[in-house]
Amino acid sequence: MKPGPARRFPLPLDRLRGTPKVAAPAPAGARHGPAPAGNGLDSADVRRRMVERLRASGVVQDRVLAAFAAVPRHHFVDPALATQSYEDTSLPIGYGQTISKPSVVARMLELLCEGANARRDGHLGAVLEIGTGCGYQAALLAEMGRRVVSVERLKALHDKARDLLAPTRSHRLRLVFGDGMLGHPPGAPYDSVIAAAVGAEVPAAWLDQLAVGGRLVSPVADGRGGQVLVIVDRNESGYARTEREAVKFVALKSGLQK
């Protein structure tokens, strides 16, 4: 699929300052002027219903739910698939890549929120995202972090995300065309690292760039043909690794594709 033209949407990338004290996420329209009229995909009610399904599935972090309420997912998928954009399903975005299921993204973001630095500071701090894709998760991260560096190895997808995010992209969000397996050393150390592709193991570069008190969340091959979410926490004495539930992501690859 070819990247489409940039589309405008109300994405409050410079809104968050610390932990929001809200009982439930408000619709984006309530924070940025009147809500769009009608009951179509631009209606805040559509995102609110998705957020309530995430809450019912066990997502409890207000920061995560508020980000999902603010960012319109349908702007990041092909128009032909837009009617499916608020279902809990992954969707193709071209070039052999996908936009992950909302429930999986929410789960990974919630795990990031439980890192030591994130709990202390009330936000995700400096964030490294491996695999920008269409830019949806980068937009969510920019709602939750102090600064975000998102790296994409496929030039076509990097350009697509840049176009989609350009109208409202915050100075806190930087998109980098680069080899994600190398991370992005100029922005290190990172309080939060999140990957949208699965490898045989967590690359050493990501661990090196993780701040003390930081947390990394990434899918990793389990050696039996499956994948699991892996959490790595860095402390003063080294790294602590734990494994969580099974997931399914596209393969992590090295090198640039122009």
How would you classify residue 15: left for phi > 0, otherwise alpha for psi between -120 and 50, otherwise beta?
alpha
Please state the domain count of the chain: 1
In this prediction, residues 21-32 reach a mean pLDDT of: 35
Note the pLDDT tens digit of each residue in 106-148.
999 999 999 999 999 999 999 999 999 999 999 999 999 999 9
Q: Could you tell me the residue range of the domain that residue 119 belongs to?
A: 28-246
Low-confidence winner among 110-114, 164-168, 233-237, 253-257 (lowest mean pLDDT):
164-168
Q: Which residues are catalytic?
A: 100
**Residue 88, domain member (yes or no):** yes
Q: What are phi and psi of 166, to 5 degrees?
A: -55, -45
Share of the chain above pLDDT 70, in %: 84
User: For 16, which DSSP code?
Assistant: -
Mean pLDDT, rounded, of the chain: 87
**Residue 91, domain member (yes or no):** yes
Pairing mode of beta strands 227-235, 238-246: antiparallel
Contact (CB, 8 A) for 68 and 54: yes
**Residue 20, domain member (yes or no):** no
**Residue 52, domain member (yes or no):** yes
Alpha carbons 137 and 178: distance in angstroms, whole number? 17
**Residue 96, domain member (yes or no):** yes
**Residue 114, domain member (yes or no):** yes
Contact (CB, 8 A) for 158 and 191: no
CATH number at residue 35: 3.40.50.150
Check whether 18 has a pLDDT greater than 50. Answer: no
**Residue 16, domain member (yes or no):** no
In this prediction, residues 145-152 reach a mean pLDDT of: 98
**Residue 10, domain member (yes or no):** no
When comparing pLDDT for 210 and 6, which is higher? 210
Helix intervals (H) in 57-195? 62-70, 102-113, 116-121, 136-144, 155-165
Note the pLDDT tens digit of each residue in 52-108.
999 999 999 999 999 999 999 999 999 999 999 999 999 999 999 999 999 999 999
Q: What are phi and psi of 230, to 5 degrees?
A: -115, 135
